[in-house]
């Protein structure tokens, strides 16, 4: 991955207001791979005190999307065409780590997966697995951040 692509992804991540509200950080980028993390803030907990599924889904979708974006030419971004989530256990943790990975990059469709882990101290538990499809789009037609 080029330094220019890394910078473009970092700038894109910085404009994501939902990720800001989660307190999320972009921790790792490599060809076909992206890792994000976020603390499970009080505002992001559901009625039983676990991390909300929306937090889990948002981190997983975003990590998978940026994993796909690492493989795009300089003038392209990606949009999620479809994505499913399997919630495997409650997010009873201090923070979540999402690891997005490209499974297959075609010209028109990019198959991705993400695993979301709950982390407390040295304990790590798989909370969710996502599988989806990203679609490359020219940056000129991607919706602009406002």
Strand 25-30 vs strand 33-39: parallel, antiparallel, or unpaired?
antiparallel
The torsion region of residue 144 among left (phi > 0), alpha (psi -120 to 50) and beta comes to beta
Are 25 and 63 in contact, with CB atoms under 8 Å apart? Answer: no
Domains of the chain: 3-138 (3.10.129.10)
- State pLDDT tens for residues 54-67: 999 999 999 999 99
Give me the pLDDT at residue 143, please. 61
**Nearest one of 83, 80, 115 to 97, comparing CA atoms:** 115
- State pLDDT tens for residues 65-121: 999 999 998 889 999 999 999 999 999 999 999 999 999 999 899 999 999 999 999
- State pLDDT tens for residues 88-98: 999 999 999 99
Q: How deeply is 40 buried, as exposed, middle or buried, from its count of CB atoms within 10 A (0-12, 13-18, 19+)?
A: buried
Task: Say whether pLDDT at 50 is over 80.
Answer: yes
- 141 pLDDT band, cuts 50/70/90, is low
List Cα–Cα distances, 138 to 17, 23, 43, 134, 143, in angstroms.
22, 29, 35, 13, 10
């Amino acid at each position: 991955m080029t330094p220019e692509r890394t910078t473009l992804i970092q700038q894109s991540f910085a404009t994501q207001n939902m990720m800001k509200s989660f307190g999320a950080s972009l921790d790792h980028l490599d060809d076909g791979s992206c890792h994000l993390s976020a603390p499970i803030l009080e505002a992001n907990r559901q009625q039983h005190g676990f991390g909300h599924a929306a937090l889990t889904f948002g981190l997983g979708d975003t990590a998978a999307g940026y994993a796909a974006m690492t493989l795009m030419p300089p003038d392209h971004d990606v949009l999620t065409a479809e994505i499913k989530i399997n919630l495997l256990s409650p997010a009873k943790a201090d923070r979540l780590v999402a690891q997005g990975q490209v499974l297959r990059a075609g010209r028109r469709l990019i198959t991705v997966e993400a695993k979301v882990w709950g982390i407390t101290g040295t304990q790590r538990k798989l909370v969710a697995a996502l599988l989806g499809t990203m679609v490359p789009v020219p940056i000129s037609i991607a919706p602009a951040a406002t």
